[in-house]
């Protein structure tokens, strides 16, 4: 916004006093119609669009999943099979085959 105001001052301060007065009137008219704010909005919108074109965000299904280290370690810990039936036979049938 400061840059636009500086350019406006340079625009108004021309050597010809009649042209300077005419330019001052144009600037005042523009201020009354909020042209400066509209110009800033257009500049920012264009800058954001250029940035997004240069650095697009991936679609949601392609985003990396953030897993913390403790969660990652918990997920990779070997599972214990103690107390579980690892065969297709019922526990009673296993005991019959292998008496203790």
pLDDT tens digits for range 36-84: 999 999 999 999 999 999 998 876 665 566 656 665 556 555 555 555 5
User: Would you list the domain boundaries of the chain?
Assistant: 2-55
- pTM here is 0.46
The Cα 26–Cα 23 span in angstroms is: 5
The Cα 76–Cα 69 span in angstroms is: 11
pLDDT tens digits for range 78-88: 555 555 555 55
- Check if the beta carbon of residue 29 is closer than 8 Å to that of residue 68: no
């Amino acid at each position: 916004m400061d840059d636009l105001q500086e350019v406006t001052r340079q625009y108004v301060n021309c050597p010809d006093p009649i042209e300077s007065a005419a330019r001052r009137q144009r600037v005042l008219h523009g201020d009354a119609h909020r042209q400066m704010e509209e110009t800033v909005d257009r500049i920012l919108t264009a800058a954001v669009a250029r940035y997004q074109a240069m650095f697009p965000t991936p679609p949601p299904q392609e985003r990396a999943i953030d897993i913390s280290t403790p969660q990652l370690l918990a997920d990779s810990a070997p599972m214990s099979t103690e107390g579980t039936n690892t065969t297709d036979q019922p526990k009673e049938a296993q005991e019959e085959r292998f008496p203790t």
